[in-house]
Chain A
Amino acid sequence: MSNLNALTIADAREKLRAGEITSVELTEACLKAADAAKALNAVVHPTPEIALEQAKAADARLSSGNAPDMCGIPLGIKDLFCTKGVASQAASGILKGFKPEYESTVTTQLFDAGAVMIGKLNMDEFAMGSSNETSVYGNVINPWRRGNDETALTPGGSSGGSASAVAADLCLAATGTDTGGSIRQPAAFVGITGLKPTYGRVSRWGVVAFASSLDQAGPMAKSVRDCAIMLKAMSGHDPKDSTSAELAVPDFEAMLTGNIKGQTIGIPKEYRMDGMPEEIEDLWAEGRAMLEDAGAKIVDISLPHTKYALPAYYVVAPAEASSNLARYDGVRYGHRAKLSHGDGVTEMYEKTRAEGFGAEVKRRVMIGTYVLSAGFYDAYYNRARRVRALIKKDFEDVFAAGVDAILTPATPSSAFALGQEFDDPVQMYLNDVFTVTVNLAGLPGIAVPAGLDMQGLPLGLQLIGKPWEEGALMNVAQALEDRAGFVSKPSKWW
């Protein structure tokens, strides 16, 4: 059988269980595809030996029967996850050479479920970016192009390596993390499905921290069903993460009936932005029609504080980042600057951090330091936290009024050219305008590929759900996926 690497998790699961294919064959197909895709720069630390060892173990488990859903499935793991004995750098120079002595809870659970790791995936440095241009490993390239135009496009960020790897079939699915849109925006830019779970659903232990009150890991995969399968394996209470919820993990996949008759879907008027391309408007209207066709009731809603989400985010996230990234001091792990005669610890900190961090990370750490500094704490940080409470209340109000899920565009544009927005940080931040509200409110959100723009690039729609109701949310996403019928793949040039 050819192109095993192009299978979905659900299809591979059936073939593995039926004995039609082995995990070793599937894994080899992915490793071969990854090896041939160096031009995408998505896989930055390939782990073929670990992969084949895991695949053999998975095959043994499969042949004994009773193997879990993820058994034998090759995945890519974002570089933000600590993986024991394998480079885990968060795409930063400051963690060069860092090989954790421990395994993150998410990868532990995935490996316990029999999943296979083909390698660590590129990303924006410390997950700070929307184009994967801040990585110490260099840019990730989107497998999609504008027709025959060879301009290199961004896969989005920060989970750009995960997006590119899944879209190019280098693995069946990948882990991502999402602090302001870092799963959903790249998923939309490459035509795959990406889910950010409710805050607290997935353990953050062993995931390099960016902004702890916003960070959440989730699946990036080729279908809603695959996201459901993978999320189940990633989720659950973890005593090592004090914000991890003590809630049972439902069988998300069993909830994907695609039947959403009688459900109420809200369309928020504040997401209609000035200067938004007409194609995005049209896609949004099509999505609305698709859900209506599925039997849902569509209502116009208002989320009045939407406009203030990005400014609040750019106070809260840098503040938390400046605190989290204080640990990179050149003492315990990673890079330490070469010191001059007479340099003390302060010089060691300052030189190490100047050399180890990239420009965007420095910018955000310093903004965070500023908004937390004496005299500005109330004016910036506390104000932003109060606005955040209002943003969350906007959602609570519409859910209380009977809305089951909210439909919005996933991004304000399709994938743009690398370099295009890199020089203006604020312009870059606007990429997350539709996704960042969800992180501030701690809600689950999913990006579903829904069409192509005039340049032939994928566009996604976002659905936002109630807290802890990822299953119901993915069921709406399933109804959308069924009707959008998105099957396009990038033509292979790499």
Chain B
Amino acid sequence: MATFFNTYGFLIVSMLLAALLALSLYLPLMAGQLSLASPGFYALGGYIAAVLSTRVFVTQPGGLFPVPLVLLEMLIGGLASGVLAIIVGVPALRLRGIYLALATIAFIEIVQVLALNLEITGGAVGIFGIPQPFKTQIEYIWIAAPLLLIVALFVYRLERTRVGRAFIAIREDELAADAMGVNPTTNKVLAFTMGAIVAGTVGALGAHFLNTWNARQGTFDASIGYLAFVLIGGSWTFLGPVLGGMALTALPEVLRSMSDNGALPSWLGEFMKDGRFIIYGFLLVLGTVFLPQGFVSPALFERRSKRKEGKEVPPASPAQRGQGLGVS
């Protein structure tokens, strides 16, 4: 068990963080907005924590970094991301579908180039020697797990508050929602900002967790990865992104460990290790083709509740209704 936690402690916490990042992308998607900006805010949060913990909150070397300071950094990272999200979001959210997605990718790229060029971010080398609040990686679970629970509960509650319903109304039909008195711009920016706050907070924790922070964090690849978390998991309820994030983060490592335990013929073991991204890509295709609604699909719920509720037609997933790419 101890060996298990030592080996996979990092992975377990990575899975929780991935779930959180998936939720940060799910929030704007709740309001029908495909924003890929999360990695940009993730990077920002991480830089804030990295700079604060190495330059401002200096503790004596050797000792553990106080946990309350980590929480404070997370708060600052989240707030700063939120403010930036409002500044970026107000003009950008006039765009729809893939155009919005592209504008948010442009945002990520610009953040990345800035990170490479600014003095304070340490350029390509980045910031290193970030002090550790814990002795091992698994203990980060004490922050990551409650954070995930809080955010998941928040999203779960949000789905049935006035604001959440406004989001869903916009996702279902923006014009109609507008006509009903739901202000699309305000609500879209709100959803976008919430996602950014989550990403920024996770970034601040991530900087400590990874020991170092540099311009390679929060790239375009990462944003597509998060999108895969959401869509493979299912974009229909918050559980989809959470499970999708966890499963897809664990997959390459599961393949690695399967190849190591010696139960397989050696050529297959070798392939599972060296070719694990081939398998990952293959499973990504299989997953989308055979489970187009994600793991957590409406059908899954339908089966479980059929006995009591009788037959109910499952609604289509949000983007299925054509909000997605918005092309004629």
A and B form one complex: no
- Residues of A that sit less than 8 Å from B by CB: none
